[in-house]
Chains A and B, each alone.
Chain A
Amino acid sequence: MAILNSIISVCYYLISAFVVFVLAKSIIKTKNVQDAILYSVMLMPFILRILRIK
């Protein structure tokens, strides 16, 4: 059970990493200034979580 729970936990880090990937891609692609700023702010919680800081 402990192993299963750790695998599941890893899945959540992967989901978060995917969100970061899409956000980063969106920042590069967007032509809208305001969106670019918002996307960068949205990166914050996902990045710190993936780095296991918070």
Chain B
Amino acid sequence: MYFHAGLILAVIAVTFAVAKYFKLSVELSMLLAAIAAGIVHAGGAIPVRHLVEGSFTYLDVCLIFITATFFMNLLKESGGVAFMVRKIVITFHKTRLLCLFFLTVLLLIPGALTGSGAATVLTVGTLVGTVLSYMGISEKRVAAIIFICAAMSAAAPPVNLWAMMAAAGSNMPYVGFFQPLLVLSAIGAFFAMFFLGAKGKNVELEKALKELPEPPEKMNWLRVGIPFAVLIFLIMAGRIWPFSTPTIGLPLMFVLASVSAILLSPKKLQILRIATETIHSLIPLVGIMIVVGILIQVMALSGARGLISLGVVTLPLWVLFSTLFLILPVSEGLLQYAVAPLLGVPLILLFNMKGMNAIIALSAMAVMWPIGDILPPTAVVGRATVMELKFKGHYYKDFLKTALIPMGFVLLVATLFLIFSNELSFLVGG
């Protein structure tokens, strides 16, 4: 069994590496690795049913992802996001710290709803980046701030895909994560913003406003706020009157909030085009989740998943505590969301066994993973950041290096949460 599972792991690693060498995308390399592993396991046959079945593993998550991003894109297209950024700048241009504070809150919203850091970069990242650069913050610092805040927004509740995927894999309710995730992601985002952005000047209001896109004249707080209110109402209604409301589900809640955004938009939105573009822009992310499901199924089939789990759970705790801050981001850079079921699930098992608070521990891990989205080979959010901000510096020497201190800070705080999970169990809730 050890040999067989080890062999499968080797086949996966080699196929993935060779495919990457031939310039295949991460998704296709992973798919090829899964197919190769499946064939070796089945002794030459293709386990078709398992490949197809695996693609369903994260279907629900994909739908949340698609509909939430559609909602955010509508707000962007209707001018709602530009409106909010301008209002923050106009109101607080004299008090720098408050200005930074509200910009951070704004940055946290899209990722919190969609679970994706890329969504933050694409919807509000550029606009906030423009404002920051008119506050005397250097280009590389702006890029680092946007990345860390985007990563923290992905970690922020209610939707944290890593925690959801790992919890689902260990039959653990995704309940009680709201507060620990909020505390961790807020600490990380505010630290990055104030550490990197503290020094500088007040906004050059005229210049900043000139560069920010002009929202439609009729845009106001009600038009921006009501769609969010609809969303929050639907979520709360399901919790407050669960037995007299129908089962709507998060994806449809986002669709309904989107409908309100469309109705309230001061300008006519090309809904079909936005919906098409949303899905199109999400294809890499949805694609990777589908492929990850296929890979996980083949690994479960062949015992490779068991071998990894066994390896993880038989490590002493102190080894985990002192290495997870490296292992989690690096594995995220390598495998994306696949890490949550692969490493997260056995770790939860171990933490439960050792009497730790699994919700706090998983929250801590679920904040460390997104930090890895700046690391190669995938670097999904890091690449999106430099592309959207039209960053001219060097990716590693300027961008990554500037982000290192806040990254280290987040990892340190999260590691402390891991170690002191029981002492922090009062945070569980929501």
* Interchain CB contact under 8 A, A12 and B252: yes
- Check if B53 is an interface residue, CB within 8 A of chain A: yes
* Interchain CB contact under 8 A, A45 and B276: no
Separation of A46 and B56 alpha carbons in the complex (Å): 8
Closest CB of chain A to B170's CB: distance in Å? Answer: 22
Residues of chain A from 24 to 54 with CB closer than 8 A to chain B in the complex: 25-26, 34-35, 37-39, 41-42, 44-46, 48-49, 54
* Interchain CB contact under 8 A, A18 and B275: yes
* Interchain CB contact under 8 A, A12 and B280: no
Closest CB of chain A to B230's CB: distance in Å? Answer: 16
Closest CB of chain B to A2's CB: distance in Å? Answer: 9
- Check if A19 is an interface residue, CB within 8 A of chain B: yes
* Interchain CB contact under 8 A, A45 and B55: yes
Separation of A19 and B59 alpha carbons in the complex (Å): 12
Closest CB of chain A to B279's CB: distance in Å? Answer: 4
* Interchain CB contact under 8 A, A22 and B63: no
Question: Given contacts A22-B280, A25-B276, is CB(A44)–CB(B52) below 8 Å?
Answer: yes
Separation of A49 and B283 alpha carbons in the complex (Å): 18
- Check if B246 is an interface residue, CB within 8 A of chain A: yes
**Count of chain A residues with Cβ under 8 Å from any Cβ of B?**
27
Separation of A8 and B249 alpha carbons in the complex (Å): 9
| Chain B 175-216 interface mask (CB, 8 Å, partner A; 1/0) | 000000000000000000000000000000000000000000
Residues of chain B from 272 to 299 with CB closer than 8 A to chain A in the complex: 275-276, 279-280, 283, 286-287, 290-291
A-side contacts of B280, CB under 8 Å: 22, 26
Interface of B, secondary structure class, is helix
Contact partner of B283 (CB less than 8 A), chosen from A5, A12, A15, A35, is A35
Contact partner of B290 (CB less than 8 A), chosen from A8, A11, A18, A45, is A45
Question: Given contacts A45-B56, A49-B59, is CB(A19)–CB(B66) below 8 Å?
Answer: yes
Closest CB of chain B to A4's CB: distance in Å? Answer: 4
Question: Given contacts A22-B279, A38-B28, A38-B283, is CB(A12)–CB(B251) below 8 Å?
Answer: yes
B-side contacts of A54, CB under 8 Å: 52-53, 56
Question: Given contacts A15-B67, A22-B275, is CB(A41)–CB(B290) below 8 Å?
Answer: yes
Closest CB of chain A to B234's CB: distance in Å? Answer: 12
Question: Given contacts A25-B276, A34-B25, is CB(A41)–CB(B248) below 8 Å?
Answer: no
A-side contacts of B27, CB under 8 Å: 38
Residues of chain B from 218 to 251 with CB closer than 8 A to chain A in the complex: 246-249, 251
Separation of A15 and B249 alpha carbons in the complex (Å): 13
* Interchain CB contact under 8 A, B276 and A5: no
- Check if A23 is an interface residue, CB within 8 A of chain B: yes
- Check if B31 is an interface residue, CB within 8 A of chain A: yes
Q: Which residue of B lies closest to A29 (CB)?
A: B280
A-side contacts of B13, CB under 8 Å: none
Chain A residues within CB distance 8 Å of chain B: 1, 4-5, 8, 11-12, 15-16, 18-19, 22-23, 25-26, 34-35, 37-39, 41-42, 44-46, 48-49, 54
Q: A12-B249, A38-B291, A44-B52 are in contact. List 10 more A-B contacts (CB 8 A).
A: A15-B252, A18-B275, A22-B279, A34-B28, A37-B28, A41-B290, A41-B291, A45-B55, A54-B53, A54-B56
14 A-B interface contacts by CB (under 8 A): A5-B246, A5-B247, A12-B249, A12-B252, A15-B66, A15-B252, A23-B283, A38-B287, A41-B55, A42-B283, A45-B55, A45-B290, A49-B59, A54-B53
